[in-house]
C-alpha cells in the first residue's frame, strides 16, 4: 500500500514530541534534584555566613570572634538561658543596627532561621566543625 505523503510528516511530528517530552522530563527533574535534601543546607549557610564571627564550631574562639565578642553558641549555660525565639529574633534583626551582627532577614525566611537555631545552633559542640560531618 502506498503511504500517503503526510505520513512522513506525522512521524516527524511524533519524533519531535518525543524529544520535547524528554526535554520536559529533564526540566522537571532538575529542580527536584536541587531540592532533594530536606530544604536548604543551613549548616553550610552557617559555615559561610556565621563562622567568621562565631567560629567554625560556634564557640567563637577564633580571632574575629574574640575581637567582636561573638557569642559562644555552644555554651550550654547560655543556651539553656535563652529561647529559640530570642535567637531567631537576633538572627533576623541583627545586633546594634547590624553593626555588631548583621540581620539575615533577606537571606533566611523565618522558618529557615528557626531551623538554623534548632538544627544547627542547638546541636553545636565546641571543637566540632559545623557542616563537616
CB neighbour class for 82 (10 Å; exposed up to 12, middle 13-18, buried from 19) = middle
What is the rounded distance in angstroms from the CA atom of residue 85 to the CA atom of residue 7? 68
Question: What is the closest distance, in whole angstroms, from the C-beta atom of residue 127 to ligand HEC in the complex?
Answer: 18
| Binding span for ligand HEC by CB under 6 A among 4-12, 16-24, 33-41, 84-92 | 84-92
Cα gap 62→69, rounded to integer Å:
10
Is 114 among the residues that bind ligand HEC (CB under 6 A)? no
Closest contact distance (angstroms) between CB of 102 and ligand HEC is: 6
Taking residue 119's Cβ as centre, other Cβ atoms within 10 Å add up to: 15
12-71 positions binding ligand HEC, by CB under 6 A = 49-50, 52-54, 68-71
3-state secondary structure of 122: coil
Question: Does residue 101 touch ligand HEC according to CB under 6 A?
Answer: yes
Pick from 7, 22, 29, 86: which binds ligand HEC (CB under 6 A)? 86
Contacts of 109 (CB under 8 A, 6+ apart): none
Binding site for ligand HEC (CB under 6 A): 49-50, 52-54, 68-71, 73, 82, 86-87, 90-91, 95, 100-102, 104, 116, 121
Amino acid at each position: 500500500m502506498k503511504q500517503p505523503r503526510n505520513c512522513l510528516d506525522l512521524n516527524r511530528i511524533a519524533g519531535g514530541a518525543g524529544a520535547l517530552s524528554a526535554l520536559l522530563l529533564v526540566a522537571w527533574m532538575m529542580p527536584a534534584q536541587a531540592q532533594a535534601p530536606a530544604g536548604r543546607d543551613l549548616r553550610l549557610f552557617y559555615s559561610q555566613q556565621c563562622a567568621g564571627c562565631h567560629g567554625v564550631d560556634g564557640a567563637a574562639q577564633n580571632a574575629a570572634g574574640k575581637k567582636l565578642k561573638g557569642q559562644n553558641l555552644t555554651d550550654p549555660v547560655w543556651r539553656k538561658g535563652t529561647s529559640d525565639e530570642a535567637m531567631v529574633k537576633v538572627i533576623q534583626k541583627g545586633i546594634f543596627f547590624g553593626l555588631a551582627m548583621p540581620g539575615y532577614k533577606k537571606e533566611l525566611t523565618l522558618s529557615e532561621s528557626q531551623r538554623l537555631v534548632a538544627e544547627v545552633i542547638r546541636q553545636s559542640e565546641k571543637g566540632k566543625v559545623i557542616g563537616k560531618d
